[in-house]
Amino acid sequence: MKTPMKTTMKTMGASLVLTLLLVATCFAADEPLVFDNDEQEARYLDLTRELRCLVCQNQNLADSDAPLAHDLRQEIYRMLQAGESNEQIKTFLVDRYGDFVLYRPPVKGNTLALWLLPAALLAIGGVVVLLAVRRQSRQPAGGESERED
């Protein structure tokens, strides 16, 4: 009785290890990176999420499988290892690819519409709703039930 049980356990253990290995390979699209510490790894993840892949423009560097995204991830890793700050890394990329590489572009003359339009649209929407609500509440309750009939 004991031997089959043991074999089952062994098989289960082996398949668990295999599954974990498989999961690990799924995440490691690049060669696995070794970071000096958790803080550096967190910065790497933040930067690659916040920077745009120029090839498939609606993906960030972390998600993209494009060769350029791979190269830029390598470059960001190398700069982190060299002790450069997040600002220095972003400046490096903006100098070469422009503000477009940033998912959060700086507030400048040509990005003003981008930053202000959502707030402006929200304000316009608010005014429209306010006017509609006011008009509704001004109507007598009787008039409304009549209309429902």
Minimum distance from residue 97 beta carbon to another protein (Å): 5
Nearer to another protein, 44 or 61 (CB): 61
Structure tokens at 105: 């572009």
Minimum distance from residue 40 beta carbon to another protein (Å): 21
Helices 67-81 & 86-97 angle (0-180, nearest 10)? 140
Are 44 and 77 contacting, i.e. CB atoms less than 8 angstroms apart? yes
Burial-class residue 53 by CB neighbours within 10 Å (0-12, 13-18, 19+): buried
Nearer to another protein, 33 or 68 (CB): 68
Nearer to another protein, 33 or 66 (CB): 66
Nearer to another protein, 44 or 79 (CB): 79
Minimum distance from residue 27 beta carbon to another protein (Å): 23
Minimum distance from residue 138 beta carbon to another protein (Å): 13
**Residue 60 phi, psi (nearest 5):** -90, 175
Q: Which residues bind another protein (CB under 8 A)?
A: 54-55, 57, 67-68, 71-72, 75, 94-98, 100, 124, 128, 131
